[in-house]
């Protein structure tokens, strides 16, 4: 270490920060320069890969069988189910197989559809992470709730029933709904979004891009908040999270990080009573605490309220033909399962097979299409499953997909995806993974992770006693994450520890601000790696005082 250079500065500096290592110019580099750059970069990345603890990124995957395809410019441009494909260098047939795998895993497709009519879902594999999938989910929800035309309209769409009702039944339902729908409700086609305090921060950016509003943006200053502080709030809620009109800026969460169902129900009810269709985003694996919302429990309470206010299903007249109308839902429930969308199904299998105990105190947080009101799901492929490219799966019930605006000839089908051009390589990695592992294999991985979480917790608790220092250890039951006091910056850098400023409310009502780090127990995290990490925490001043 250079004289005067701190430990923090040493580990913040990347070995390729020097100009001579990576700088490009109008001249070609020598073979020696190129080899030196690649070697330094590769060695540096490998050192961090083998010690990655703080981010949701599984490093235990292999691309050996897929490497020959990296020399081909694959592009899954356009809709994955397009009958005609103009660009021949695509892997859409593999993509559709991967989508069918998730459709069965999430309970919307019991068998592989042999033709288009039998397929109950629509979706695709994104080129970005879950941000893209969430973006399209909220866009589709906005258009659906605003009454825009659907791609696959059916006579009566109430949570996508398996068969169409008789025409006479359809007419009766339309007549019934036409008598109860308010003719002069100015809010009928204005969706209001409900996000929790622990929702992914990127959703706020998506709402700005789509010009959609959260409940607090619509209600604050216009009518009284249905939640009264402190009686209606969880004990862990921070009063500073209220705006100037006494509205929470997001749906409050319980101490474990999951959405507060009583708060959500009261907030949604206030807007449904005023004719606003609700768009609720549930999180299956929050960013820092790794908490799981319980969509089934929440929807069980919300459904009767939606029915009471004629929002569970409603009559929507076509914007293209005033003489046509369809029956659709007046709500949208989306699952941001960036982590849990892949992890939870196999954890549920592990529990059912007796491989691991169910530690969720309020029951297993079922999130998928087995809940008839769930409209869309998104999950990342590069997190729990493991993929070298940021990628995600977006899936929606087929009858709920809004009609794409364009049908360009050169795509050979509708321009229904967000990104247009899409990576054709990530689906190859997934196909290789799914073809090489059974459900049982994944269930055993989920069970093994649970044991590693228990080992990590006990190791930190023993260290806490040994050091006689409060390490602020916390763990949400069922989560893959363990939170604790942020250690020294060189340790944070070496193990890629994510950190965040938390407001902690104590039983006596006082607050404390703490910078905490967390460990995400991904499939590549072993007990040996944890022991190495714990050993570093024994070093003098491993936990500096926080001011």
Question: What does 145-189 look like in DSSP terms, one character per residue?
Answer: HTTPPBSS--SB-SS--SSPPPHHHHHHHHHHHHHHS-TT-TTTT
- The winner for highest mean pLDDT among 156-160, 321-325, 374-378, 399-403 is 374-378
Helix 439-467 × helix 527-537 angle, to 10°:
20
Flag whether pLDDT at 169 surpasses 80.
no
What is the average per-residue pLDDT within 367-378? 97
Q: Which is higher by pLDDT, 131 or 415?
A: 131
pLDDT at 83: 66
pTM of the model: 0.91
pLDDT at 116: 78
User: Of the ranges 134-148, 392-406, 514-528, which one carries the lowest mean pLDDT score?
Assistant: 392-406
Torsion of CA 404, 408, 414, 417, to 10 degrees: -80
318-357 confidence digits (pLDDT tens): 766 666 778 899 999 999 999 999 999 999 999 999 999 9
- Domain 92-152+185-436 CATH assignment equals 3.50.50.60: no
Flag whether pLDDT at 5 surpasses 50.
no
Q: What is the mean pLDDT of the chain?
A: 88
Flag whether pLDDT at 13 surpasses 70.
no
DSSP-derived 3-state class of residue 141: helix
In this prediction, residue 154 has a pLDDT band, given cuts at 50, 70 and 90, of low
pLDDT at 520: 97
User: Of the ranges 79-93, 304-318, 489-503, which one carries the lowest mean pLDDT score?
Assistant: 79-93
Q: Can you list the alpha helix ranges (DSSP code H) found in 126-280?
A: 130-145, 167-180, 202-210, 215-219, 261-272
Flag whether pLDDT at 12 surpasses 60.
no
pLDDT at 447: 97
Q: Specify the domain boundaries for CATH 3.90.1150 within the chain.
A: 33-52+439-538
Rg (CA), the chain: 25
Flag whether pLDDT at 181 surpasses 90.
no
Q: Using an 8 Å Cβ cutoff, are 425 and 76 in contact? A: no
What is the average per-residue pLDDT within 124-150? 94
Which residue(s) pair with 259 in the sheet? 253
pLDDT at 411: 56
210-244 confidence digits (pLDDT tens): 999 999 999 999 999 999 999 999 998 988 899 99
pLDDT at 2: 47
14-53 confidence digits (pLDDT tens): 555 555 677 888 888 889 888 988 998 899 899 899 899 9
CATH entry, 33-52+439-538, from 2.10.240, 3.30.1600, 3.90.1150, 2.60.120: 3.90.1150
Please enumerate in sequence order all residues whose Cβ is within 8 A of that of 337, keeping only pairs 6 or more positions apart, or say none. Answer: 130, 283, 284, 285, 344, 367, 377, 378, 379
Flag whether pLDDT at 7 surpasses 80.
no
pLDDT at 96: 94
DSSP-derived 3-state class of residue 502: strand
Q: Can you list the alpha helix ranges (DSSP code H) found in 501-541?
A: 527-537
Say what percent of the chain tops pLDDT 70.
Answer: 88
Say what percent of the chain tops pLDDT 90.
Answer: 68
């Amino acid at each position: 270490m250079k004289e005067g250079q701190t430990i923090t500065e040493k580990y913040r500096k990347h070995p390729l920060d020097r100009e001579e290592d990576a700088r490009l110019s109008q001249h070609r580099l020598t073979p020696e320069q190129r080899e030196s750059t690649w070697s330094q970069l590769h060695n540096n990345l490998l050192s961090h890969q083998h010690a990655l603890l703080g981010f949701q990124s599984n490093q235990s995957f292999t691309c050996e069988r897929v490497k020959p395809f990296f020399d081909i410019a694959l592009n899954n441009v356009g809709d994955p189910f397009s009958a005609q494909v103009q660009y021949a260098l695509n892997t859409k047939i593999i993509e559709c197989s991967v989508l069918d795998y998730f459709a069965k895993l999430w309970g919307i497709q019991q068998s592989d559809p042999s033709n288009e009519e039998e397929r109950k879902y629509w979706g695709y594999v994104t080129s970005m992470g879950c941000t893209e999938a969430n973006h399209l989910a909220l866009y589709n929800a906005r258009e659906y709730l605003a009454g825009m035309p659907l791609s696959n309209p059916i006579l009566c769409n109430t949570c996508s029933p398996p068969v169409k009702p008789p025409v006479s039944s359809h007419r009766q339902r339309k007549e019934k709904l036409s008598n109860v729908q308010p003719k002069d409700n100015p809010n009928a086609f204005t969706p209001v979004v409900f996000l929790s305090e622990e929702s992914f921060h990127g959703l706020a950016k998506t709402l700005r891009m789509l010009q959609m509003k959260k409940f607090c943006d619509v209600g604050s200053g216009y009518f009284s908040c249905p939640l009264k502080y402190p009686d209606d709030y969880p004990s862990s809620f921070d009063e500073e999270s209220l705006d100037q009109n006494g509205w929470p800026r997001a749906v409050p969460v319980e101490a474990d990080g999951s959405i507060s169902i009583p708060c959500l129900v009261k907030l949604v009810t206030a807007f449904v009573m005023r004719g606003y269709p609700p768009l609720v985003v549930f999180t299956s694996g929050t960013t820092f605490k790794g908490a799981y919302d319980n969509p089934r429990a929440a929807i069980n309470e919300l459904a009767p309220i939606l029915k009471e206010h004629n929002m569970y299903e409603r009559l929507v007249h076509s914007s293209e033909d005033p003489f046509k109308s369809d029956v659709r839902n007046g709500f949208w429930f989306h699952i941001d399962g960036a982590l849990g969308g892949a992890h939870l199904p196999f954890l549920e299998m592990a529990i059912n097979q007796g491989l691991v105990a169910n530690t969720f105190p309020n029951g297993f947080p079922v999130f998928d299409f087995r809940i008839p009101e769930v409209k869309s799901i998104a999950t990342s492929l590069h997190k729990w499953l493991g993929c070298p490219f940021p990628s995600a799966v977006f899936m929606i019930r087929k009858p709920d997909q809004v009609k794409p605006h364009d049908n360009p000839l050169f795509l050979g089908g509708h321009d229904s995806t967000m990104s247009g051009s899409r990576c054709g390589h990530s689906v190859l990695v997934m196909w290789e993974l799914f073809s090489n592992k059974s459900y049982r294999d994944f269930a055993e991985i989920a069970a093994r992770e649970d044991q590693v979480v228990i080992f990590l917790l006990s190791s930190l608790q023993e260290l806490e006693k040994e050091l006689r220092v409060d390490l602020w250890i916390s763990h949400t039951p069922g989560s893959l994450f363990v939170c604790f006091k942020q250690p020294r910056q060189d340790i944070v850098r070496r193990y890629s520890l994510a950190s965040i400023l938390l407001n902690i409310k104590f039983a006596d009502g006082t607050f404390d601000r703490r910078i905490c780090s967390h460990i995400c127990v991904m499939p590549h995290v072993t007990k040996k790696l944890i022991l190495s990490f714990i050993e570093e925490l024994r070093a003098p001043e491993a936990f500096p005082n926080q001011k």
